[in-house]
Chains A and B, each alone.
Chain A
Amino acid sequence: MRIPKFEYLRPLTMEDTCSLLYKYKTDAKILAGGTDLFVKMKKKQILPKVVISLNGIKQLDRIEWDEKKGLTIGPLVKHEALLNHPIIKGKFDLLTEACFKIGTRQVRNMGTLVGNLCNASPSSDAAAPLLALETKLKLVHLYGEKIVPLEEFFIGPFQTVLHPEEIVAEIRISKLPSNTTGSYQYIHKASSVGETLVGVAVLLTVDPKDSTCQEARIALSSVAPTPIRAKAAEKTLRGKRIDAKVSKEAAQVVSDEIQPRSRPWYRREMARVLVERAILQAMEKIG
């Protein structure tokens, strides 16, 4: 299987990248890891005239942590780098858990987190924890930039708000309050490298004095046209002491509020099981 012909461009700055995107618009595609782009091109699902490689801009391969600003991840950061990053392991371990599920060892060494989000698969494993972490994306184009919450970034299966002349320049995750833990739970299709059938990310902030839930965020992939937050279920957790009964009730609310398109009965059942499991797992980490 061959990749159809294209013109290869390798800008050395973000500004040049934006100029090229502005010039070529829908004729151009951005290359970071290539694990989605070249598969689609080989299958002739997309046939860009121009491929703009980001790999000449080394500073895009950066993970930065700042006590005030939080975590910043550049568009060339690969899943494998996230897996091995001590800050992410320590502070955002639900993201580590999700990255470990993505693709295969080879794909994790090639594919980027930002590319994963731009592909906008409803079953993206990274999307659920990043939604729960209220991730923001910095989109830039030749004449400006804007910050978009991840929740508003996805608009449909494999569709985002990103314009052809825009690029995701970084993603930002704020520092979490203390006493916050999370968990990512999933089940997959036939094999361990198969697509995720239901993915659940839960993030809980618990008062250490009386163990009531101060903040709860639940996000899921593969149960709706886009990865989604389960906000009705989150509400049921806030202000309560989390025990087996409360977890079960929240899981039932999730099961009712999601909108799976195919195998809806099974996906609702599994979402229920996984949400309960993720809440209990997160609580166990708090100890």
Chain B
Amino acid sequence: MKKQLIELRINGELCEVAAESQRTLLEVLREDLGLTGAKEACGTGECGACTVLVDGKPILSCLTLAIEAQGKEITTIEGLSKAGELHPLQKAFIQQGAIQCGYCTSGMILNAKSILDENPKPSREEILKGLEGNLCRCTGYNKILEAVMAASTGKD
């Protein structure tokens, strides 16, 4: 099982990594590229902590091979702020106190971003349904919901 050269476009930048084919996108992001925003929790696709965006859609990086993510646009939490300015969702999470231990936050925010990109004014139910694959073991769901609602209405 030789290492292969994998080219990934992450947050707009092209990165080259030599990795074996069984390595997941999550492992390569965290261990080879130092992008530790995406987290591993369950490792089996139940919790959403490893969520990143691929071509704008939320996927589980713990069940995606790095080699299969070639040629796609990958967005991690590190890529959300622009010129030192946090993304409105990141600001709303801070303002609303929607971060406790922080382990679910990057996945939560990226999935929320994809929800708002698809539908800028979702209902509470649509947000809850959209975020059902992101578990928060601090159980701070109300604050998270409020943060996404605040970001969707443009209020800080």
Contacts and interface: CB of A to CB of B under 8 A. Distances in A.
B22 A105 contact: no
B45 A107 contact: yes
Contacts, number: 82
Contact of B133 (A8, A53, A106): A106
B101 interface: no
A106 B43 contact: no
A104 B22 contact: no
Classify chain B: how many residues form its interface, as a range.
20 to 34
Contact of A42 (B1, B44, B68): B44
Interface in B41-92: 43-46, 48, 51, 57-60, 62-65, 67-68
B57 A80 contact: yes
B105 interface: no
B71 to A, nearest CB: 10
B21 interface: yes
Interface string B95-135: 00000000000000001001100000000000001111110
Nearest to B52: A106
Contact of B63 (A2, A39, A105): A39
Contacts of B24: 3, 38
A44 interface: no
B70 to A, nearest CB: 10
Given A105-B130, A106-B51, A193-B133, A3 B22 contact: yes
Given A4-B22, A105-B111, A42 B43 contact: yes
Interface in A21-61: 31, 34-35, 38-39, 42-43, 51, 53, 55
Given A55-B68, A105-B130, A107-B45, A35 B60 contact: yes
B60 A110 contact: yes
B51 A34 contact: no
A5 B2 CA distance: 11
B22 A106 contact: no
B20 interface: yes
Interface in A53-95: 53, 55, 80
Contacts of A107: 45, 60, 133
A6 B60 contact: no
A192 interface: yes
A25 B73 CA distance: 34
Given A6-B21, A104-B48, A109 B1 contact: no
B118 to A, nearest CB: 9
Interface of A: 1-8, 31, 34-35, 38-39, 42-43, 51, 53, 55, 80, 103-107, 109-110, 192-193
Interface of B: 1, 20-24, 27, 40, 43-46, 48, 51, 57-60, 62-65, 67-68, 111, 114-115, 129-134
Pick the 10 closest A-B CB pairs, nearest first. Answer: A104-B133, A1-B43, A8-B21, A3-B22, A109-B57, A38-B63, A39-B44, A106-B133, A106-B58, A106-B60
